Structures are given as C-alpha cells and as structure tokens.
Structure 1
Amino acid sequence: MVVLCAVLVTSCGGGGDEEAKLPNLADQDRFLRDYVELLNESDETGLARLLDAHPQGDKDARARVKAYGGQDWDVRWSRISEFEGVWSVDLTGTARAEGRPVRLTETITWEDEHWVMAPLPGVVPKPSNAADTEPPG
C-alpha cells in the first residue's frame, strides 16, 4: 500500500514541470520588448544573441538592424495564433524623432522551451526545428 501511494504521489508531481514548458505570453512580451530595445539601440550583437536559435542569427540581426534599427521606436503589439505554437505578431508604433509610423509583422514560434523569431525571408534559412508557418493543405 505504501508503494502504491508513493507511485501515485510521484506521478502527480510532474505537472509543474510540464506547465513550465508551455509557452507563456508574458514571457513573449519580454522577448518582444527586448527585440524592440535592441533594434532601437542598433545592437547587432545583442540582437544576434536574442535570435540565437537561428543557424545564422548574426546575419539576420545585421539585416534587421539595417532595415529597422535606430529608429527610437515607441512600439505596441498585438498577436494572433491560428495554429498551435505559432504567433503572428503585428508591431505598430512611431519613430519619435520624425513621428513616422512603424509597422511590421513577425512570426514567432515556441520551440524547445524558448521563443524563436522566424528569420527575414532571403537572409538566412529557417531553423531546422522551427514550426512551419504555412497552414497544411
């Protein structure tokens, strides 16, 4: 009887670990805040570390800084998820110096217990373990 109780308690104790592995949107918000801050600072090295799940995150970081960096963005975002583990995130804001509108859409996936941003098209290959962002069929 004692062995049965020990087995039941052990099997019930694993739930917390599984929950920790699930995507957390508050953590995604932190990831996006870091992304915007690194772009505002034109910090290629920091951005490459944030994108370290990419096979060539440094090239992707360089392309992102060239395209979007140093604009002193004040950014908000909204997100949708049409299939599990993949979010389409619309970033909208203004560059404070010019008041110019800033809009981009990013694809963010939850892979291997961390956030992965899809590389810019044509810059680097998609990570080998990244979720497919095209609906099947």
Structure 2
Amino acid sequence: MKSGNRSNALLVELLIVIMFFMLAAAVLVRVFFAAHRQTEKADMENRALNDAQCIADRLYCADDAFAALEAYGFVQAGDAWTLERDDYMLSVKADLEEMTQGSMLRRQVTVVSKDDEVLLDLPVYRYEEGHP
C-alpha cells in the first residue's frame, strides 16, 4: 500500500513539474514573439529615417527638387510627392516664400507607417538669392 501512495505522489509531482514547464514555455514564446515584433518595427523605423534623411539631403542640394524626387521614384499626387515602401510611405510637400532679396524654399518630408502613424516630420529649408 505504501508503494502505491509513493507512486501516486511521484506522478502528481511529475505532472506539476510538467505543467510548470509548459507554462514557462508559453510565457517565453510570447516574450520572444513580442521581442521579434519590436525588432521588426525598429528596423522599419530605421530604414524610414535613413530614407527621409537621404531625401532631405537631396532636396537641399538639388537645384531642381522635382527632378530629384522623380529620379528617386516619387510620384506627384496633388500638391505632394509620394513614395510607397513596403512598411511606410514617404511624402514631400513644397512651399515657396518670396522675399525682397530672394526666396525661401521649404519642403516637408513626412514618413507615415502603414498604421497611419506619423513616424517622422523633417523640414528642409533652402534660401535662394533672387535678382533685386
């Protein structure tokens, strides 16, 4: 009789240990999945930031900004230029302010995720002297 009680207690202990490891495995799978999603999001944000900085540099240096945008793959949609990527969309809006001695060109580079979250809003200014 004592041997039967010991084997039952051993089985109960084994079941408790197995349940504990199953619970730990389930928690770890969720943690690793969340970490993977966070890594993918950080990678997408990094690519979007690099893309926006590259475009901002090109817009600042280019004499013909619209030709530079077309060369980069942008398409004009209304008053903005847009470029679709896999995980995000880039858009550029241009504004011109005339001054007495020249003009201030203002371009706004915006990065929006597929979830419609604005990831980055980067202004680009360039002053061009005009003829007095």
Give the alignment's TM-score, normalised by structure 1: 0.36
Which has the bigger relative contact order, CA under 8 A and spacing at least 6?
1
More strand by share: 2
More helix by share: 2
Give the alignment's TM-score, normalised by structure 2: 0.37
